[in-house]
């Protein structure tokens, strides 16, 4: 028996004794159980994320209540078109990610790669629009601690001629609005950057044939993460951009 | 070599647990058509919430905006995140997380609302 034959036999035996796919871990009875356990774990992680973002939403609501006119004036300086466009981009990216999970479920490699690539592009598109808005806020001296001036708030905003100019002490409070704005959109953007990075790694693995052999858990769990980040934006958008338009 | 191979041919008795067991939920593939319909509804709701923000509704501007956001998030959780098609364990996990979150928000807010009660 030469070494090649032995190697071939060992490989055959290995397949016989493993009557389950290589990605099924031994402490699970079957794939359905493993899948349920991994989805459960992912949801527990997402619940901690809800608490994390929830704390910031809570702080936003309390400070908005305290320094109402400052928050209204701050909100009036945002571009609603940019927020709406970004919401649209993120919702479409959630749809394309759902389609990527579907492609993995039905084991179609090329559609999986395409949907993942479109999702990455939409994610980057979101970050570009967000970057444009941040740049605009920098130019207009709306960045607390780094580049801030109350100038704009002690005068009438031309886009909102009905607004009364703020008293200097209240105008200073717009910094709290912008601090929370940068904290919340920044944390959201950080999640987007992490998401785009992980999705790029998954895309490279999927090119080699991963995730279309029945092992869909990484793509599925990443999908949950991506949709969660979408949901955070679904709440950030009305709170930061919309609800103060009329006061 | 022979001996080694034979050792590995033992088969563990398989536990007979059917798909009705809570940890053995079979994979339900959601159709692309469903995803498309939900995606279009989400885009329509986005257009609606932006349009409504231009209408003067007083305090209801915030109420309507948050209600639409909750509706959109529910659609994402139920369909894109498959909770509608998931096991009871997963449904309960999501609900208990949201419930805990609402308890924390409600208690915190009721403290801020009632701290100076009657001294407005």
Calculate how close chain A gets to B99, using CA atoms only, in Å: 11
> Is the pLDDT at A93 greater than 50, yes or no?
yes
- Kindly state whether residue A193 falls inside one of the protein's structural domains: yes
How far is Cα B91 from Cα B79, in angstroms, rounded to an integer? 13
Percent of chain A past pLDDT 90, that is, above it, reads: 78
B3-47: pLDDT as tens digits: 444 444 444 444 444 444 555 666 789 999 999 999 999 999 999
Quick one: A38 exposed, middle or buried, by C-beta within 10 A (0-12, 13-18, 19+)? middle
For the entire predicted model, the pTM comes to 0.87
- Kindly state whether residue A86 falls inside one of the protein's structural domains: yes
Give the range of the structural domain holding residue A205, as residue numbers without chain letter: 34-242
Contact status of B13 with chain A (Cβ, < 8 Å): no
A119-150: pLDDT as tens digits: 999 999 999 999 999 999 999 999 999 999 99
ipTM of the prediction: 0.89
- Kindly state whether residue A137 falls inside one of the protein's structural domains: yes
Contact status of A39 with chain B (Cβ, < 8 Å): yes
- Kindly state whether residue A109 falls inside one of the protein's structural domains: yes
Calculate how close chain A gets to B116, using CA atoms only, in Å: 13
CATH number, position A142: 1.20.120.80
User: Radius of gyration (Cα) for chain A, nearest Å?
Assistant: 24
For residue B11, what pLDDT is reported? 47
Helix axes of A109-139 and A80-105: crossing angle, nearest 10 degrees? 160
For residue A88, what pLDDT is reported? 98
Contact status of B107 with chain A (Cβ, < 8 Å): no
Which residue in chain B is spatially nearest to A57 when comparing CA positions? B105
How far is Cα B84 from Cα B19, in angstroms, rounded to an integer? 18
Percent of chain B past pLDDT 70, that is, above it, reads: 78
Cβ of B23 within 8 Å of Cβ of A234? The answer is no
How far is Cα A208 from Cα A196, in angstroms, rounded to an integer? 19
The β-bridge partners of A148 are A142
What are B16's two structure tokens? 């007979």
Alpha helices in chain A (DSSP H): 3-17, 31-66, 68-75, 80-105, 109-139, 168-207, 217-237
- Kindly state whether residue A9 falls inside one of the protein's structural domains: no
Helix-strand-coil split of chain B, %, nearest 5: 65, 0, 35
Contact status of A54 with chain B (Cβ, < 8 Å): yes
Query: What total of structural domains would you count in chain A?
Result: 1
* 34-93 of B, contacting A, C-beta below 8 A: 35-36, 38-39, 42-43, 46-47, 49-50, 53-54, 56-58, 61-62, 65-66, 68-69, 72-73, 76-77, 79-81, 86-87, 89-90, 93
Choose the closest CB to B97 out of A32, A47, A237: A47
């Amino acid at each position: 028996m030469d070494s090649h034959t032995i190697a071939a036999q060992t490989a055959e035996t290995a397949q016989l004794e493993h009557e389950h796919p290589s990605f099924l871990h031994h402490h699970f009875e079957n794939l359905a159980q493993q899948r349920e356990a991994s989805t459960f774990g992912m949801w527990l992680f997402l619940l901690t994320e809800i608490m994390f973002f929830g704390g910031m939403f809570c702080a936003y609501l309390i400070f908005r209540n305290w320094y109402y006119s400052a928050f209204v004036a701050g909100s009036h300086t945002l571009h609603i078109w940019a927020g709406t466009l970004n919401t649209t981009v993120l919702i479409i990216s959630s749809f394309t990610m759902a389609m990527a999970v579907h492609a993995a479920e039905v084991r179609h490699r090329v559609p999986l790669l395409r949907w993942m690539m479109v999702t990455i592009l939409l994610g980057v598109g979101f970050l570009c629009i967000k970057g444009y808005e941040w740049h605009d806020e920098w130019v207009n001296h709306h960045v607390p601690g780094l580049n801030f001036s109350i100038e704009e708030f002690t005068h009438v905003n031309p886009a909102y001629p009905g607004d009364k100019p703020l008293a200097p002490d209240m105008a200073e409070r717009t910094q709290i609005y912008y601090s929370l704005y940068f904290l919340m959109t920044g944390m959201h953007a950080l999640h987007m950057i992490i998401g785009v990075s992980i999705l790029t790694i998954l895309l490279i693995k999927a090119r080699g044939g991963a995730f279309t052999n029945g092992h869909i858990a990484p793509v599925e769990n990443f999908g949950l993460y991506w949709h969660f980040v979408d949901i955070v934006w679904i709440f950030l958008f009305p709170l930061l951009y919309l609800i103060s338009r009329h006061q | 070599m022979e001996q080694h191979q034979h050792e590995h041919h033992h088969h563990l008795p398989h536990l007979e647990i059917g798909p009705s067991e809570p940890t053995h939920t079979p994979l339900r593939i959601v159709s692309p058509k469903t995803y498309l319909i939900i995606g279009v509804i989400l885009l329509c709701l986005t257009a609606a919430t932006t349009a409504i923000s231009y209408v003067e509704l007083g305090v209801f501007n915030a109420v309507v905006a948050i209600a639409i956001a909750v509706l959109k998030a529910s659609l994402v959780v139920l369909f894109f995140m498959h909770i509608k098609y998931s096991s009871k364990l997963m449904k309960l996990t999501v609900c208990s997380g949201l419930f805990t979150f609402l308890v924390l928000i409600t208690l915190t807010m009721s403290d801020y609302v009632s701290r100076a009660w009657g001294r407005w």
